[in-house]
């Protein structure tokens, strides 16, 4: 999943919990933000296999540290601790828990769309419901989650901003790196993808 994660960030943000929206944006994508440098450093692995899913060519065959269930729980706990310590002036325990949940939501949403490449622990017991193989449904789900979160956020905060504009901003950033080529990709392309 790509832009759909941001819907959770919008949905979680309230005036009461006082969590900065940018913190939630980072939280919901933390696993991917870690994944990119891990791939660049060769700690986790990805290759491009054209046609592996209907939506993209990512064969995410080794990512035990960022996208295993245990890994996701670990990073959620780290985010909880960092938020609790770093924002101790405004962070209640429940707000820190919400930040931890935002991190973990990434794994739950990835579980819906990924092919079975998400390990439960280490590199074993891989799960994934494979919605990436149903392009229109997957795209609809992403947009649906994003809009649901954005509308909730706007209603709560009485903002004037248009949810469509918010979506377009998120989308233009994320989809720029969507793998397009049907042919094989070089290592340099994989690196460039991970950077973005």
Residues near Zn ion, by CB under 5 A: 32, 110
Total Cβ atoms within 10 A of residue 148? 16
Q: Nearer Cβ to Zn ion, position 38 or 153? A: 38
| Minimum gap (Å) between residue 68 Cβ and Zn ion | 11
Residue with tokens 């990835």: 110
Tokens standing for residue 192: 């460039």
| Minimum gap (Å) between residue 107 Cβ and Zn ion | 8
What contacts 138, CB < 8 A, 6 or more positions away? 55, 113, 131, 132
Q: Nearer Cβ to Zn ion, position 63 or 95? A: 63
Q: Nearer Cβ to Zn ion, position 110 or 117? A: 110
| Minimum gap (Å) between residue 56 Cβ and Zn ion | 12
Q: Nearer Cβ to Zn ion, position 110 or 138? A: 110
Separation between Cα atoms, residue 107 and residue 11, nearest integer Å: 17
User: At residue 126, what are phi and psi to the nearest 5 degrees?
Assistant: -85, 140
Contact 60, 47 (CB under 8 A): no
| Minimum gap (Å) between residue 88 Cβ and Zn ion | 29
């Amino acid at each position: 999943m790509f832009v759909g994660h941001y819907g959770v960030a919008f949905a979680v943000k309230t005036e009461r919990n006082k969590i900065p929206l940018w913190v939630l944006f980072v939280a919901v994508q933390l696993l991917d933000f870690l994944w990119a440098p891990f791939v660049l450093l060769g700690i986790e692995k990805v290759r491009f296999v054209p046609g592996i899913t209907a939506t993209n060519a990512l064969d995410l065959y080794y990512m035990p540290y960022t996208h295993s269930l245990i890994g996701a729980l670990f990073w959620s706990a780290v985010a909880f601790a960092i938020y609790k310590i770093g924002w101790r002036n405004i962070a209640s325990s429940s707000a820190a828990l919400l930040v931890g949940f935002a991190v973990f939501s990434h794994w739950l949403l990835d579980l819906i769309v990924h092919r079975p490449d998400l390990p439960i622990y280490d590199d074993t017991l891989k799960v994934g419901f494979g919605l990436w193989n149903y392009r229109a449904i997957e795209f609809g789900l992403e947009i649906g989650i994003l809009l649901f979160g954005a509308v909730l956020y706007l209603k709560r905060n009485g903002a004037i901003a248009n949810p469509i504009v918010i979506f377009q901003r998120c989308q233009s950033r994320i989809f720029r790196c969507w793998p397009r080529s049907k042919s094989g990709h070089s290592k340099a392309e994989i690196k460039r993808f991970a950077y973005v």
